Amino acid sequence: MRIIAITQARAASSRLPEKVLRTIKDKSLLEFHIQRIKKSTKIDILIVATTVNPEDKIIMEIARMCGVPSYCGSANDVLDRFYHALKGQHPDYVVRLTSDCPLIDPELIDKVIAKAISED
């Protein structure tokens, strides 16, 4: 079984611009987010999906530093961004996450995945 998680991240935000790039003790909130997702025992691949906007290049760099692949796509069409990030991956399940949750719980992610699999 192949389970791929995609987290969407971008610097633009109307309420709090660059929130995923804010830091705590020299670590961006996006780094916290990625590192916590990587503790999931059920996710095979994590992909960071961002936009082609120049301000989002730093997001790709953070993903690279954390050892996860990234994809840059449409700034306006999130579904298209997800589709192209997954193209050719052939997952059995896709877990959609959002990067504005830096303290995401990897155990809860695993419980949700287990429930989805057990209930088909």
Going from N- to C-terminal start, the domains of the chain cover: 3-118
pLDDT at position 95: 97
Confidence of residue 62 (pLDDT cuts 50, 70, 90): very high
Per-residue model confidence (pLDDT) at position 16: 83
What share of the chain in percent tops pLDDT 90?
90
Q: Which amino acid is at 86?
A: L
Mean pLDDT of 70-81: 94
Residues in the chain: 120
Query: What ranges in 8-88 are assigned the alpha helix state H?
Result: 29-37, 57-65, 78-86
CA 27 to centroid of chain Cα atoms: 17
CATH hierarchy code of domain 3-118: 3.90.550.10
Average pLDDT over the chain, rounded to an integer? 95
Structure-token match 């996006």, residue found: 30
Which pTM value belongs to this model? 0.94
Return the structure tokens found at 56.
């989002």
State both tokens at 41: 């025992």
